Amino acid sequence: MVPADFTELPADHALERQDRPGAFAPTYIHDQWYVAARLSELRRGRPRQLCICGQAIEFIRLEAGSVEARTANGGQSLPCEVSEDLVWVFLASADGADTLPIPVPVFGGPGGRIRFMEKVVLPAHQDDAVYGLLDPAHTPFVHRSPIWRGSGVLKEKTKSFEPDDMGFTMMPHAPVNSDIYNLIGGAITVRIYFRLPGLRAEYIQNSKHTVLGLTALTPVDAERTVLRQIFYWDTPILSLVRPFASLIARPFLEQDVNIMKLRSQNKGFGGKGMLVGDSDRQFLWYLQLKKAWAEAGGCPKTFSNPLEPATLRWRT
């Protein structure tokens, strides 16, 4: 049954290619910082070429722990910073090569050092990857595992949101019981912040400790997007279980990869996307933010966050 409250995907959220229906023409978000790599992925004296937003970029790690970035063809130097153990590169729009970069996003990960990271390549345009990131209702259907969920009963969730800088925040709330929260212990609150270009930070806190789960999306090209699931924490107990973290994180992310494969196959068959009620509202907000950022020419002084505070309800 199709719920009454649904929205057709806006036609302009990504442009379909004429030559290959179902394939997207590149519509990247410019004038933003993208995660290029974890610092340890770059070795001194070994320049590394990465494709980001369809552009080949060479990264050179220097002695002082800083990193230089330049376009592989032409050698134009690009703003590049190391922050919170990550290498960030700023991609200006083609016509705005002189744009001054906005400050690099800082999420306040405890200790500033990555404790755990998993990386997958989603076979998806960035918009679809963001859709997967912001769709709260897919979890019980896509992420099935005897380890982390078993009840099979859908419960109604109500969450409050507020516009926040270049994105929005799901206000702090007490989460439902889960193993990771029980491991940290105490009275837990969870706050989730999403911002352009595709960064989602989940803060899990008790009175003493913080765990930050940062999901960073970086488009490789129009059909592939790297998803990095990064954790920072200051809880000794999580360091003890870290050797087993991949056993949970890996299958979880591979389930996201699989559902993206199915989504792209569906598009190949001419399937049309459809957005359903409150559970897809966050993705619509992303599209609104993306549009407003492009209309502001990537200038933070001109940009004004188009969102309003809202309370959303869905079942997971």
Among the residue ranges 2-10, 113-121, 255-263, 287-295, the one whose residues contact Fe ion (CB under 5 A): 255-263
For residue 127, state whether it binds Fe ion (rule: CB under 5 A).
Answer: no
| Closest CB to Fe ion among residues 169, 215 | 215
Give just the sign of the alpha carbon dihedral 119, 124, 128, 131: negative
Q: Which residue is nearest to Fe ion (CB)?
A: 256
Q: How far apart are CA 48 and CA 57, in angstroms?
A: 8
Q: Return the residue matching tokens 């000794």.
A: 236
Q: Return the residue matching tokens 């459809």.
A: 274
Q: How far apart are CA 281 and CA 234, in angstroms?
A: 33
Give just the sign of the alpha carbon dihedral 150, 156, 158, 163: positive
Among the residue ranges 3-11, 72-80, 184-192, 248-256, the one whose residues contact Fe ion (CB under 5 A): 248-256
CB of 286 to Fe ion, least distance (A): 15
Report CA Rg, the chain: 20
Out of 31, 84, 223, 256, the residue judged to bind Fe ion by CB under 5 A: 256
- Alpha-carbon 263 to chain mean position: 18
Q: What share of the chain is helix, strand, coil (3-state, %, to 5)?
A: 25, 35, 35
CB of 249 to Fe ion, least distance (A): 12
| Closest CB to Fe ion among residues 223, 256 | 256
CB of 96 to Fe ion, least distance (A): 33
**How many C-beta neighbours within 10 Å does residue 86 have?**
25
| Closest CB to Fe ion among residues 127, 256 | 256
CB of 56 to Fe ion, least distance (A): 29
Q: Contact positions toward Fe ion, by CB under 5 A?
A: 256
